[in-house]
Amino acid sequence: MQTAQAANGYGAGSKGVFFATYYPDGYPYADADLGNLRFMGHPQLLAHKDKHFAVRQGPNEPGDTPGDYLSPHPLPVELELGKAGTIQTLSVSDDVSPAQEAGELATCELRIRLTSLIHNDTFDLWFNGDRIPRANQQWQDWTYSVRPVPGNTRLTSHYWITVDLLRLGPLPQQGDNTVRVDLTEHDPRCDPPVLLHDVELVVQYRDHRHAPRRDEW
């Protein structure tokens, strides 16, 4: 996500990036940390690096003022049955279409996480105004999983919904992309409510045209 944040910053006109505190490891940095940091000052190199874009999420406090720096967080947000969900804006610095046409795009995957979702709930997923058919969605139930959970391990009742945009479309556009989830069927007796907790986009590249990635062999 740090690479995506830096690339978005350069795309917005920033002249550089600065990490006041680098997580998860502190100094001295390991090779993996330096592998991330050494390219941060070179936007032309970041353009073809793997990225994990995300809508900002985190706990909000009653005193948070709209428009303040980093507050309030757009996510999580409650989904109300029968009502249009809040539109989420996903900023993407990369123009992935040329990479896809050149055979250099390996992965382009939209991911959303819904908490307290029941297996027979239904919802409409919209990406840039296009409705993503249910057949194009892969549902992964991580409720009460004893395995390591992707993302926030403190959540014990949630689904990850993934869409292969490279294979099924539509590809994201460079700049702002919109994501909306409308809850269409849900038992109102169930508690707690369904939340849209995460919205992410994973973009991975090949070293050159049609080059196999290490994780493909």
86-105 core/surface letters (b: 16 or more CB in 10 A; e: else): eebebbbbbebeebbeeebb
What is the pLDDT averaged over residues 21-41?
Answer: 79
- Confidence at 151, pLDDT banded by 50, 70, 90: low
The answer, yes or no, to whether residue 153 has pLDDT greater than 60, is no
What single letter denotes the amino acid at residue 149? V
Helix or strand or coil: residue 165? helix
**DSSP 8-class letter at 104:** -
pLDDT of amino acid 56 = 87
- Lowest-confidence segment of 17-26, 42-51, 161-170 by average pLDDT: 17-26
**Domain chopping of the chain, boundaries:** 1-49, 52-216
Question: Which CATH fold topology does 52-216 show?
Answer: Jelly Rolls (2.60.120)
Share of the chain above pLDDT 70, in %: 86
List, in sequence order, the alpha helices (H) in 57-132: 96-101
The answer, yes or no, to whether residue 65 has pLDDT greater than 80, is no
pLDDT of amino acid 180 = 98
pLDDT of amino acid 123 = 98
**pLDDT per position as a tens digit, 103-145:** 999 999 999 999 999 889 999 999 999 999 999 999 998 887 7
**pLDDT per position as a tens digit, 164-181:** 999 999 999 999 999 999
**For the chain, what is the mean pLDDT?**
88
- Confidence at 70, pLDDT banded by 50, 70, 90: low
Report yes or no: 165 and 112 within 8 Å, Cβ to Cβ: no
pLDDT of amino acid 66 = 56
Residues in the chain: 217
**DSSP 8-class letter at 89:** E
